[in-house]
Amino acid sequence: MSTRVDLTPMVDLAFLLITFFMLTTTMSKPQTMEINMPVKPGPNDPKPPEVEASRVLTLILGKDNQIWYYEGLDAPELKNTDIKGIRQVILDKKAKVEAMPQFGKDKTVVIIKPTDESIYKNMVDILDEMAINDIKIYAMVPVTPQELALLKTGNKQAEQQNK
C-alpha cells in the first residue's frame, strides 16, 4: 500500500479559509484620507476683521454643482462657472492680489457661501481647491438674502440662454 496522501482537498480548504479572511476583515491601517478643517465660528468674531474688498473673492455654491462668483464683498452682478472653471478664477484673483503693491503673497481672501441647494461634495471640492491653489485665508459663511435674490435672477437668465 502506498503511504502517499493526496493533499488536494487540504489545499482547497486552505484557499477557502483565505477567501473568508480576505472578505471579512480589513487591513489594520485603513487608507481613508482626511481634510483638516479648522473651523472657528461661535463666540469668536465671525467676520474677518477689516478686510479690504479688493483682495476678496466671493464664491457662492449653488445647485447642480454651479459656482457663482464675484470680486469684493458685495455683488453688483454674479458670474457663474463650475468646479473645473473655478480654479482659473481663483488663480487669476491670486495673481491680481499678488501684483498689488500693498498686498503681495498669501493675502488673497476667499469667502465661501454654500447655499441650501448645494451638496457636501461641492463644499469638499472647494476646500480642496483652497489647498491645491494654496489659499491660506478663507472662511465659510451663510449666504445673504440679497445674494439669494441675485441668484434667482441669475438662474432665470441661465435657463433662458440655454433654451
Partner 1 sequence: MPKHKMKRMSTIVDMTAMTDVSFLLLTFFMLATKFKPPENVTVVTPSSISDTKIAETDIMQIIVDAEGRVFFEMDGQPIKKELISKINDDQKLGLTEAQMNKFAIGPAIGVPFNELSSYLNLPLGDEKTFKSPGIPTDTTLTDSNQLFKWVAYGRIVNPKARIVIKGDQDASYPNINKVISTLANDKIKGYKFNLVTSLEASTKKKEE
Q: How many CB atoms lie within 10 A of CB 103?
A: 16
Min CB(11)–partner 1 separation in Å: 5
**Contact flag: residue 137 with partner 1 (CB under 8 A):** no
End-to-end CA distance of the chain: 88
Our finding on whether 36 is near partner 1 (CB under 8 A) is yes
**Pairs from 42-46 (Cβ < 8 Å, separation ≥ 24):** 46/139, 46/141
- Rounded to a whole number of angstroms, the minimum distance from the CB of residue 13 to partner 1 is 9
Q: Is 8 in the site for partner 1 (CB under 8 A)?
A: yes
Grid cell in block for residue 81: 462657472
The answer to whether 72 and 56 have CB atoms below 8 angstroms apart is: yes
Distance of CA 71 to the CA centre of its chain: 19
Quick one: which of 122, 143, 148, 111 has its CA closest to 65?
122
Our CB check for partner 1 shows the closer of 10 and 149 to be 10
Nearer to partner 1, 122 or 155 (CB): 122
Instruction: Kindly indicate which of the ranges 28-36, 47-55, 98-106, 152-160 contains the residues binding partner 1, using the contact rule CB under 8 A.
Output: 28-36
Q: With binding defined as CB under 8 A, does residue 27 bind partner 1?
A: yes
CA atoms of 111 and 123, how far apart (whole Å): 12
Figure out which of the listed residues 53, 95, 100, 132 binds partner 1, where binding follows CB under 8 A: 132
Which helix (H) or strand (E) segment holds residue 13: the answer is: helix 8-24
Query: Which parts of 57-76 interact with partner 1 (CB under 8 A)?
Result: 61
Selected from 58, 66, 108, 118, the binder of partner 1 by CB under 8 A is 118
Contact set with partner 1 (CB under 8 A): 4, 6-8, 10-11, 14-15, 17-18, 21-22, 24-43, 61, 114-125, 127-128, 131-132
